[in-house]
Amino acid sequence: MHDIASLSLSDVWAGYDGPDILKGISLEVQPGRIVTVVGPNGHGKSTLLKAISGLIRVRRGDITLSGRSVLPLSPHRIAATGVVHVPQGDLLFPNMSVYENLLMGAYGERDAKQTAQRLDEVYALLPRLAERHRQIASSLSGGERRMAGIGRGLMAGGRILMLDEPSLGLAPLVIEQIYDVIGKLRAQGRTILLVEENPARVADLCDDMHLLDDGHIVWSGPPHELMGRDELLAAYLGG
Amino acid sequence: MLDTVVTVLTTGLTNGALYALATIGLSLVWGSMGMFNMAHGAMLALGGYLTFTVCTQLGLPLPVAVIAAVAGGALFGVLLYLVVVQRLLARSTEHFETSVMIATAGISIALEEALLVAFGGQPLKQPFTVSGNLHLGQSVVPLLDLADVVIALIVMGLTYWFLSGTKMGRAIRATAQNRDAAVLMGVPVQRIFLQALAISGALAGICGVLMSSVTQLTPWFGDDPMLKAFIMCVVAGLGNLPGAIAASFCLAIIEAAVEFLAGARWGFPALLFIVIAILIWRPAGLFGRSQIRRL
């Protein structure tokens, strides 16, 4: 069983240099659950994850991990508390091998045995990474890069895993593989906050779903309920 | 003919090893934090003078003097970060590359002037020396050159091991390749910047000792190698460490050949011509990729 935590956002307002992108977001991620935020492109889904991991400053509201605010912490300290952010577009270290990328995931781990055990777990879950472990990350295919990004996130052994559009730009077969891996993580009892553009892809996988539009959460509930609300899907996600 | 080749190769490989050592220090800092350290040349001089002072003036053994140069260089790197770089980063990351270049140019002038006041402008002889020659046919290879090459290669090997085989080294490379991703892995990038400058300073310290052993010790002796190291960094692609080492050896051999065949004054112009040609052909350098900094 992995160390898990709850994540809570309360009236969070945040943005980059200009106006607010997130406008009063509140949501809960309970331990062991998969929560998905869906919504059209450019409406704040990635910004939400960046606000949680401290990459952008929260201007108002609070973000707590198991009841403790993470807002006073710098991004690397937020990562050290167990918030693992697998960003959109992989952000791998391009000139390091797959193995080195995975080791970087466990940067905060001081116990070498623990790191080795996690490496075995990641290789068992993502066998393609074991085959490619000496390969330079920049030479991996899109799907392999995405798996390496997820694997690196898992190496951190974090308490909550945040995945930013893990299927973006991938072929259907690879998307299936990626979501198969997320299904296995669900079975392990991991706490996951997932950002996705297409709710149909994750409806069977997640416990709770939030619809984000223009920085506001406009709907929250069980995923299959949203799939039955054609007017919402048409209005916010183009059908 | 064979003697000419041996002479050119000996000079080229000796200079190449020393340039490579200077280039690693510059490239490490550029790659990890986007900082061109204009004070690197003055830091070479600092290393040379520290060894001179500890050995000649304090009368301590040479190994202690060399360690003092390495430690002094590292300490200077730490101070440079804490007093100047950290503040510039805090004020504006957008203009950091320009502001830090101007700031370190000022520090370079100040440090060289301080060395001038302390030691005078007369060239001094570096106590680190190896007497004797190796005879290869008609050619004579000074053992000091060989010692410098061996020590430079050992230091490069240790640097490679550190960067690829240790957690701190991997974190420095990771920060250079993708700073945001490194932060998300929990890497404290401010501490990584400090470590990169300390290591660069230590490398400048030992490099200054070796370089001044084959030239002479003056407050400005580091300026010329720093300029050449910069050229080699640019040719390789800024921040590309293995490329910088390869470029250092290749360009040093070309420089030695040009100086031997056309005269000493043509060596540096030849390097400049090469860098201009490469920048026109490949603006990101021979081994560089646009927007990717590599260590």
**What CATH number is attached to the domain comprising B91?**
1.10.3470
Angle ∠(A205,A104,A194) on CA atoms, nearest 5: 20
What is the identity of the amino acid at A21?
I
Q: Tokens 């085989």: give the residue.
A: B165
Of residues B72 and B179, the one with the higher pLDDT is B72
Kindly state the helix (H) or strand (E) to which residue A16 belongs, with its residue range.
none
- How many helices (DSSP H) and strands (DSSP E) are in chain B? 12, 2
What are the φ and ψ backbone dihedral angles of B107, each rounded to 5 degrees? -65, -40
Determine the residue of chain B that is closest to A161 in CA distance: B184
Structural domain contains residue B286: no
Indicate the domain borders of chain A: 1-82+159-239, 93-157
Structural domain contains residue B208: yes
- The answer, for A95 touching chain B at a CB cutoff of 8 Å, is yes
Kindly state the helix (H) or strand (E) to which residue B235 belongs, with its residue range.
helix B223-236
Closest in A76, A103, A108 to B183, CB measured = A76
d(C-alpha B233, C-alpha B227), whole Å:
10
* Tokens found for residue A207: 């416990």
| Numbered residues of chain B with Cβ closer than 8 Å to any chain A Cβ | 167, 170-171, 173-174, 177-178, 180-189, 292, 294-295
Q: How many domains does chain B have?
A: 1
Strands in chain B per DSSP E? 133-136, 139-142
Helix (H, G, I), strand (E, B) or coil at B222: coil
Closest in B174, B184, B188 to A53, CB measured = B184
Provide the pLDDT for residue B290: 54
pLDDT digits (tens, 9 = 90+) for B199-247: 999 999 999 999 999 988 999 999 999 999 998 888 887 767 888 899 9
The percent of residues above 90 in pLDDT, for chain B, comes to 73
Q: Given a cut of 70, is residue A2 above it in pLDDT?
A: no
Structural domain contains residue B288: no
Contacts of B183 in chain A (CB under 8 A): 55, 75-76, 79
Mean pLDDT of all residues in B257-262: 93
Closest in A85, A96, A100 to B184, CB measured = A85
| Range(s) of the domain holding residue B30 | 2-281
Mean pLDDT, all residues of chain B? 91
Beta-carbon separation of A55 and B189 below 8 A? no
What's the burial of A134, exposed, middle or buried (CB within 10 Å: 0-12/13-18/19+)? exposed
Confidence of residue B293 (pLDDT cuts 50, 70, 90): very low
Beta-carbon separation of A96 and B174 below 8 A? yes
Contacts of A80 in chain B (CB under 8 A): 186
Mean pLDDT of all residues in B162-172: 93
d(C-alpha A77, C-alpha B28), whole Å:
25
The percent of residues above 70 in pLDDT, for chain B, comes to 97
A15: left (phi over 0), alpha (psi -120 to 50) or beta: beta
CATH of domain A1-82+159-239: 3.40.50.300
A2 Cβ neighbours under 8 A, 6+ residues apart: A157, A159, A188, A189, A190
d(C-alpha A111, C-alpha A115), whole Å:
6
Structural domain contains residue B52: yes
Instruction: Indicate the angle between helix axes B167-177 and B143-165, nearest 10 degrees.
Output: 80
Contacts of B93 in chain A (CB under 8 A): none
- The answer, for A100 touching chain B at a CB cutoff of 8 Å, is yes
Least confident of A40-49, A167-176, A226-235, B129-138: A226-235
Provide the pLDDT for residue A3: 65
Question: Looking at CA atoms only, how far is residue A148 from chain B in angstroms?
Answer: 13
Listed residue (A224, A233, A234, A170) closest to A202, CA to CA: A224
Mean pLDDT of all residues in A133-146: 92
- The answer, for A132 touching chain B at a CB cutoff of 8 Å, is no
Mean pLDDT, all residues of chain A? 90
Q: Given a cut of 90, is residue A151 above it in pLDDT?
A: yes
Confidence of residue A145 (pLDDT cuts 50, 70, 90): very high
Provide the pLDDT for residue A91: 87
d(C-alpha A138, C-alpha B287), whole Å:
15
Question: Looking at CA atoms only, how far is residue B143 from chain A in angstroms?
Answer: 38
Determine the residue of chain A that is closest to B182 in CA distance: A104
Structural domain contains residue B43: yes
* Pure H helices in A110-171: 112-125, 127-131, 142-155
Q: Given a cut of 80, is residue B248 above it in pLDDT?
A: yes
CA distances from A78 to A54, A189, B25, B173 (A): 7, 22, 32, 21
Closest in B167, B173, B292 to A96, CB measured = B173
Question: Looking at CA atoms only, how far is residue A230 from chain B in angstroms?
Answer: 37
pLDDT digits (tens, 9 = 90+) for B180-189: 899 999 999 9
ipTM: 0.88
Strands A34-38, A58-65: pairing kind = unpaired
Confidence of residue B289 (pLDDT cuts 50, 70, 90): low
- The answer, for A75 touching chain B at a CB cutoff of 8 Å, is yes
Contacts of A152 in chain B (CB under 8 A): 185
Question: Looking at CA atoms only, how far is residue B171 from chain A in angstroms?
Answer: 7
Kindly state the helix (H) or strand (E) to which residue A199 belongs, with its residue range.
helix A199-202
Q: Given a cut of 60, is residue A168 above it in pLDDT?
A: yes
Beta-carbon separation of B185 and A107 below 8 A? yes
- The DSSP letter of residue B146 is H
Beta-carbon separation of A105 and B185 below 8 A? yes
Structural domain contains residue B291: no
Best probe of the B interface among A95, A152, A155, by most B CBs < 10 A, is A95
C-alpha R_g of chain B: 19
- The DSSP letter of residue B82 is I
* Count of pairs with CB atoms under 8 A, one residue in A, one in B: 68
Best probe of the A interface among B184, B189, B241, B292, by most A CBs < 10 A, is B184
What residues does A136 pair with on adjacent strands? A97
Provide the pLDDT for residue B295: 43
